[in-house]
Chain A
């Protein structure tokens, strides 16, 4: 590509789930949009995740509302794209192994019912066993959300990027932002290694890397890369139906550890997460830690996850199931485990959309939709003020 100078209405930085869906909805509203991506479409967390399209475990009404929109959108998008996005509402099951977990999730169910998520409930141990006969029977039953499920993010995000191009949008890969120019407290243009693009709006959808873009306009965006490990087994006949979670997975603890200075040991979390992909491979997870921008996997994490998986699905041992691949990624983690979303005081036209922690896909298309509303109409159907950057100051 020759050095370009072009003009558009909106530049979206970052071709992950947030940036691509925001661009898609903006385009549908008749806007002129350019997406720029320093690497390739879905090459960070949006392409390296478990594909869970569940309702977030965090009891936040706004987040749950956005997630509802996202999951509805995935139904539509599945029909619009050329790819099978493999969206399936296989259900989300939390194994309740002690009285405290039962109490906590019973409370969650009551609160979720109030928010209109009437389909979630508590199953007794027998019902859990009926649903997941190969999973160790939990003493106190399970929390079950039948409308949660999974999706193939590597069909969804690049598929949407392709659709964007067909609709007249532009996606520039391997294009890195070097500088953002402002004039009279308004964004003016983006300078990249491939040239300059003038725009009225700039959307920072760079996930864990959003901080470096924020610095270009002189603002601090408190997102940190949180490394998550996952393992993939060889393909197997149907073994597990739901997205199954067992063991303590307390994101709030990560948040407080991170707030308290993110000592690596304190910020290490883990839970057995087990799900089976369409092709039959099992996804096993998850351990999380703060390791900077290091994406390599460690022997220690691989062993921890293997141990958890065998504990909950002992058949993995009997069947001599093998791990074929491991991966780690960077989730954009925030200290309060909530997104950073919206306009920034003093810089007209600069919009932030990051901090989706480990629930990016669960809310992604909803976040994209809300961001597109904000840019097009200056207001959103779901109020997002509580997610503004200003809460940190």
Chain B
């Protein structure tokens, strides 16, 4: 029952798939993300990232606070392409 629990709601990835990735060698949230796709949906791992950290802890004992978070890059929330195209600011980020 627990195994069928959806951990990443956006991409519908179950606990079983996450545990399987860890048993096959995933040792970080990023590695789980690469192998299963958990955290690649609309919310970009905002809730499942924490759940994956907990499963990594349960499975192989990595302390939750030592879990390396996935690389976070913009956008924080989905932004329409049309809001981004054409708003170039000279010198931003350089």
Which chain A residues have a beta carbon within 8 Å of chain B's beta carbons?
40-43, 47, 154, 158, 162, 173-174, 231-234, 284, 295-304, 306-311, 316-317, 320-328
Contact = CB atoms under 8 A, between A and B. Distances in A.
B65 interface: no
A272 B46 CA distance: 30
A301 B88 CA distance: 9
Given A295-B71, A323-B75, 11 more contacts: A154-B35, A158-B34, A173-B27, A284-B81, A296-B73, A300-B92, A302-B84, A303-B84, A307-B85, A309-B81, A317-B80
Contact of B74 (A40, A299, A311, A317): A299
B78 interface: yes
Interface string B64-75: 000000010111
Contacts of B35: 154, 158
B28 to A, nearest CB: 7
Given A173-B25, A310-B81, A324-B41, A303 B87 contact: yes
Nearest to B28: A40
Contacts of A295: 71
A303 B86 contact: yes
A108 B42 CA distance: 40
Nearest to A325: B44
6 pairs of A and B residues whose beta carbons are closest in the complex: A322-B78, A298-B93, A306-B84, A307-B85, A306-B85, A317-B82
A323 B85 CA distance: 11
Contacts of B84: 302-303, 306-307, 323
Given A299-B93, A304-B88, A324-B42, A316 B82 contact: yes
A307 B82 CA distance: 8
B13 to A, nearest CB: 12
Nearest to B36: A154
Nearest to A284: B81
Contacts of A174: 27
A40 B85 CA distance: 35
Contacts of B89: 299-300, 303
B40 A325 contact: yes
Interface of B: 24-28, 30-31, 34-35, 37, 40-42, 44, 71, 73-75, 78-82, 84-89, 92-94
Contacts of B71: 295
A154 B35 CA distance: 7
A324 B88 contact: no
Contact of B75 (A154, A173, A316, A326): A326
Contact of A324 (B26, B78, B85, B92): B78
A129 to B, nearest CB: 22
A306 B34 contact: no
Nearest to B71: A295
Contact of B88 (A154, A307, A310, A322): A307
7 contacts: A43-B30, A284-B81, A296-B73, A299-B92, A300-B94, A310-B82, A324-B44
A320 B80 contact: yes
Contact of A326 (B28, B73, B85, B87): B73
A326 B84 CA distance: 13
B33 to A, nearest CB: 9
B24 to A, nearest CB: 6
Given A173-B25, A320-B80, A325-B44, A300 B34 contact: no
Contacts of A296: 73
Contacts of A310: 81-82, 85-86
A380 B25 CA distance: 34
A39 B64 CA distance: 20
A304 B87 CA distance: 9
B81 A321 contact: yes
B85 A309 contact: yes
A232 B78 CA distance: 10
Contacts of A328: 73
